[in-house]
Amino acid sequence: MNMRTTLTIDADNAVRIKRLRKERDASLKTVVNELIRRALDDIETPGERRKPFKTKAVDLGKPLFNGPQELKELIARLDEEEDLRRLGFK
């Protein structure tokens, strides 16, 4: 069974289809049908089953701060140390 229809193709896809037609010296009908066939095959074929990715927990010790205020103070202290290092005082 053949189906005749009007299809609006986005500009980016049209450029790629035109390139494929040129590379393969094929008709628009042939290229579009091949693309549709491949896409449908890909969608209908279940992907290969992968093992779930797992990460190991690592104890990083006690945090350097215990709240937002302490974090701000730590950042300020680190910025100050970096500034002193850049100026050659450390």
pLDDT digits (tens, 9 = 90+) for 53-72: 899 999 999 888 889 999 99
Instruction: Give the per-residue pLDDT at 51.
Output: 81
pLDDT digits 0-9 by tens, 24-52: 999 999 999 999 999 999 888 877 777 88
pLDDT, position 45: 84
> How many CA within 13 A on the CB side of residue 70?
5
Region for residue 28 given its phi and psi (left: phi exceeds 0; alpha: psi -120 to 50; beta: otherwise): alpha
| pLDDT at residue 62 in the model | 86
pLDDT at 2 over 90: no
Give this prediction's pTM.
0.50
Residues 33 and 20 sit within 8 Å (Cβ to Cβ) = no
